[in-house]
Amino acid sequence: MPRFTIHDLAQTIDVRAASGGEGSYTRKLLDKGAEHCAKKFGEEAVETVIAAVENDRAHLIAESADLLYHFLVLLKARGVKLEEVEAALDKRTSMSGLDEKASRKSD
């Protein structure tokens, strides 16, 4: 059985974004605009941090799944493809993390 990946999630979001709004949470989020999607992503980030601080493994896993979903919805709302984020990550891995971070200060 193939493993579910973040690319599968991105594809599901694409399909649901193209569907009608009544039965799709994804479509409803997108219809509220990118700012709303960003707010939801921020809320999920805070919940993920709380779960991590509380050292609740199951809660951290669940909140991490919510965080990834809302992150991909936010990217969709702003017209950014997961592949573009991956390309940025790929570029960054060609140098040490400290060098890469220092190089961004000049941007």
With 0.75 as the threshold, say if the pTM is over it: yes
Pairwise CA distance, residues 86 & 41, whole Å: 19
User: Binning pLDDT at 50, 70 and 90, where does residue 107 land?
Assistant: low
- pLDDT at residue 101 greater than cutoff 90: no
Q: What share of the chain has pLDDT > 70, as a percent? A: 90
pLDDT of residue 93: 84
- SS3 annotation, the chain: CCCCCHHHHHHHHHHHHCCCCCCCHHHHHHHCCHHHHHHHHHHHHHHHHHHHHCCCHHHHHHHHHHHHHHHHHHHHHCCCCHHHHHHHHHHHCCCCHHHHHHHHCCC
Residue 103: what are its φ and ψ, rounded to 5°?
Answer: -70, -25
Average pLDDT, the chain: 91
Q: What is the pLDDT of residues 9-55, one digit of tens each?
A: 999 999 999 987 678 999 999 999 999 999 999 999 999 999 999 99
CATH of domain 6-79: 1.10.287.1080
pLDDT of residue 102: 74
pLDDT of residue 19: 85
> b/e per residue, 45-67, with b = 16+ CB within 10 A?
eebbeebeeeeeeeebeebeebb
Q: What share of the chain has pLDDT > 90, as a percent? A: 77
